[in-house]
Amino acid sequence: MKSKQNILTSLGFLTGLFLLLLNDFYLKSHFGNWWTGKLSDFAGLFIFPIFLTVLFPKYKKQIYCCTALLFMFWKSPFSQIFIDTFDAIPGFTISRTVDISDNIALLILPFSYLYLEARNKTQFAIQPIVIFMVASFAFCATSYFVKANYEKNYQFDVPIDTLTNKLYRIPTIRNFYENNKLKTNIDSIGTEPYELYVHDTVSNGTNSTFRYFNAKIIVSGDSVRSAITLQNIKYTDYENTPNASQILLESFEKTIIDKLK
């Protein structure tokens, strides 16, 4: 078992772990773009099955297959039921951005498997248990979000059909749902809440910047009037930004509400 644990202190695993932590705790917030959005997926998928194989060495092929399937499920709209159930537990909030293009990161899995099987890996004199604990933290932190609750209502003197059409025409919303073939999701308007994936660069005036956040809304109304209720906003904030909830509320109103008026 000890020989299996040694892979946690190998150059490849440590590099993947370092990139995962660097990206989630620094690069995403300071240089958020397509590359930082995908880097965590590539780094995480490289080291995650290796990590599990250390725990269950007899099932490495099954682990790699299940990793691919679970990743595709996690990045799909179908995982929202699981997320909503988990969020009902006090003190816990998780989320993810539904983006079909993230599945490109699955290409790293064969390279991860080849690395796992390779011999003569470069090793570092570090206790495997230390890396095990750091990796466990990194995997949990990747999907951890902070949630700010609002229950704020915005009224519009237009029919609900008009409001939903205008909502869908907002470029960042339309492009995201069209690119990910999720238009049916945004069209399912009623009393059920759904999440908007809002892309906006907002800052508190220092180095702390939010590149995107998830806003859960309810659209309601009739043939005369309509309304949007902002239930909550989920966001990552590893720097404990002061007044983050107010900053993001102002961004939501600028990016979404002002464009609907």
* Residue range 91-105, pLDDT digits in tens: 556 666 666 778 899
Q: Which distant-in-sequence residues (6+ apart) come within 8 Å of 175 by Cβ?
A: none
Q: 146-260 maps to which CATH number?
A: 3.30.530
Please list, in sequence order, all residues whose beta carbon lies within 8 angstroms of the beta carbon of residue 103, skipping any fewer than 6 positions away: 71, 72, 75
* Per-residue pLDDT at 188: 45
Does residue 181 register a pLDDT over 60?
no
Region of residue 181 (phi > 0: left; psi between -120 and 50: alpha; otherwise: beta): left
The structure tokens listed for 14 are 């440590």
Q: Annotate 12-79 with three-state secondary structure.
A: HHHHHHHHHHHHHHHHHHHCCCHHHHHHHHHHHHHHHHHHHHHHCHHHHHHHHHHHHHHHHHHCCHHH
pLDDT higher for 148 or 44? Answer: 44
Amino acid (one-letter) located at 260: L
Q: Token pair of 143, please?
A: 């999907």
- Residue 167, amino acid: L
Chain mean pLDDT for the chain: 79
Residue range 131-166, pLDDT digits in tens = 999 998 888 776 667 778 898 999 999 988 888 888
Could you read off the pLDDT of 194-234 as tens digits, one per residue? 667 676 556 555 545 566 677 888 888 888 898 898 988 88
- Sequence spans of domains, the chain: 2-142, 146-260
Distances (CA, A) of 91 to 21, 193, 201: 23, 21, 27
The overall pTM is greater than 0.75: no
Provide the pLDDT confidence category of residue 180 given band limits of 50, 70 and 90: low
- The H or E element that residue 152 is part of is strand 146-156
- Has residue 70 got a pLDDT over 70? yes
Where b means 16+ CB within 10 Å and e means fewer, 21-34 reads bebbeebbbeebee
Q: Which residues contact 32 (CB under 8 A, 6 or more apart)?
A: 201, 209, 211, 212
> What is the spatial distance between Cα 104 and Cα 169, in angstroms, rounded to a whole number?
27
